[in-house]
Amino acid sequence: MGETVKYILDEAEMPTQWYNIVPDLPAPPPPPLHPGTHEPVGPEDLAPLFPMALILQEVSSDSYIDIPGEVLDVYRQWRPSPLYRARRLEKALDTPAKIYYKYEGTSPAGSHKPNTAVPQAFYNAQEGIKKMTTETGAGQWGSALAYATALFGIELEVWQVAASFEQKPYRKSMMEIWGATVHSSPSPLTAAGRAILEDDPNSPGSLGIAISEAVEVAAQTEDIRYALGSVLNHVLLHQTVIGEEALLQLEKAGDTPDVLIGCVGGGSNFAGLSFPFLREKMAGNMAPVVRAIEPAACPSMTRGVYTYDFGDTAGMTPLMKMHTLGHDFVPDPIHAGGLRYHGMSPLLSHIYELGLVEAVAIDQTECFEGALQFARTEGIVPAPEPSHAIAGAIREALACKETGEEKVILTAVCGHGHFDLAAYDRFLSGDIEDHEYPEGKVSEALSHLPSW
């Protein structure tokens, strides 16, 4: 008898609701504030940027929100996604631990991002929107939204962080195949981009800068809306399909997790995996340790300050209370482009402050080593972002080897690395180094925090 390595669900078992963790928390998260008045922002303040359906989800106090049938129809193309038991990796590590991973690389765009891109495009289309803007780091969000807007007949303009625009040209091709227009950011097309270029014509860009550019264009044009691929409550909400499925799949496997480990950029795939498990933990049904892994070069949770800051570099977004390295901090161009964000989801930051999750920072060479070991045992080539989750899971499994503990580890491989082969080439030829924690750059950026 072969051992089971893959746990699948029937279409009929697919979750039909998203889970909102907010009403279950012991204290509500601090509200976003208007940068001028410092009053909490209301739905009408966000209306120039987002459709009302998403704004209402952003502030919802309902525990569950129905997934529209049109969205479920698209989800069914790749959902439920598989949960794997990493038996070959376990053997290679010689660990008594069990390692499970939820794999989101089977979506058309190759990551978890379509889980929110599809509903975001759907709600915009429902409100008659014909054009949207967005930013993208590594290109995963831009390609996910390009795919989703193509399905719903919406035009899309994308600002891609310059460092990734250079490193990952095929993500741009992907976005163009789905009909989007792509600009390298900072670009001369916006006031925010021009201001950065004046200072530094060779700026590698950052998510914060690219957000400023995309928000500027949407805010100035009546019928253009903006979409964000992470950070906001409604994005984390949409991603909870990952954790809801994983709960059912682990149940089929007959296991409950002792440790959940995920990578964090803005926090959405980690929240998507962990929030349904945190619900079970708060209800006393299980007691997993929940651990976020961030890049040592951009460690907003472990080294950032918990305070109100802007979500973008130019200071156009509402002030959000979050763990931040400062809105004008430009992280070194590490290969996990999707993790190069100065801040962290305010909801996840709040949950971290409540002590419900812990955080660890790992250098990129350890992550690439883990990714190679994973690819050579499990076959899947992970994106550089989830290589952080894999490195965290390997650390835990090796610790279990020391102690002899048979822990159940659950992690998420939230995207494949087929567009990241240039980064792998560089690692294989010994050309990738760790970036020291940029103490000076961070304290400089933290000195520019907004006063409030």
Ligand X SMILES: *Cc1c(COP(=O)(O)O)cnc(C)c1O
Q: Does 120 bind ligand X (CB under 6 A)?
A: no
The binder of ligand X chosen from 295, 304, 386, 392 (CB under 6 A): 386
And the tokens for 301? 């949770």
**Kind of pairing, strands 319-324 and 305-310?**
antiparallel
The binder of ligand X chosen from 129, 210, 383, 394 (CB under 6 A): 383
Min dist. Cβ of residue 334 to ligand X (A): 12
Min dist. Cβ of residue 337 to ligand X (A): 8
Q: How far apart are CA 381 and CA 53, in angstroms?
A: 36
Stretch that binds ligand X, among 72-80, 91-99, 264-272, 275-283 (CB under 6 A): 264-272
Give bridge partners of residue 158 from the DSSP assignment: 134, 182
Under a CB-based contact definition with an 8 Å cutoff, are residues 151 and 75 in contact?
no
Show the site string, 303-342: x = touches ligand X by CB under 6 A, - = not: -----------------------------------xx---
- Crossing angle for the helix pair 191-199 and 207-220, to the nearest 10 degrees: 150
Can you tell me whether residue 385 is helix, strand or coil?
Answer: coil
The binder of ligand X chosen from 41, 72, 74, 264 (CB under 6 A): 264
Distances in Å between the alpha carbon of 202 and those of 182, 205, 433, 444?
18, 9, 21, 20
Min dist. Cβ of residue 248 to ligand X (A): 21
Q: DSSP per residue over 94-132, as a string?
A: T-SSEEEEEE-TTSTTSBSTHHHHHHHHHHHHHTT--EE
Nearer to ligand X, 230 or 364 (CB): 230
Burial 163-197 (b: 16+ CB within 10 A, else e): bbbebbeebbebbeebebebbbbbbeebebbeebb
Nearer to ligand X, 130 or 418 (CB): 418
Enumerate residues 6+ apart whose C-beta is below 8 A from 315: 35, 212, 327, 450
Nearer to ligand X, 311 or 386 (CB): 386
The binder of ligand X chosen from 193, 265, 304, 333 (CB under 6 A): 265
Under a CB-based contact definition with an 8 Å cutoff, are residues 159 and 183 in contact?
yes
Show the site string, 218-247: x = touches ligand X by CB under 6 A, - = not: ------------x-----------------
Show the site string, 129-148: x = touches ligand X by CB under 6 A, - = not: -----------xx-------
Binding residues for ligand X, total number by CB under 6 A = 20
The binder of ligand X chosen from 266, 299, 304, 343 (CB under 6 A): 266
Residues that bind ligand X (CB under 6 A): 111, 113, 140-141, 230, 263-270, 338-339, 383, 385-386, 414-415
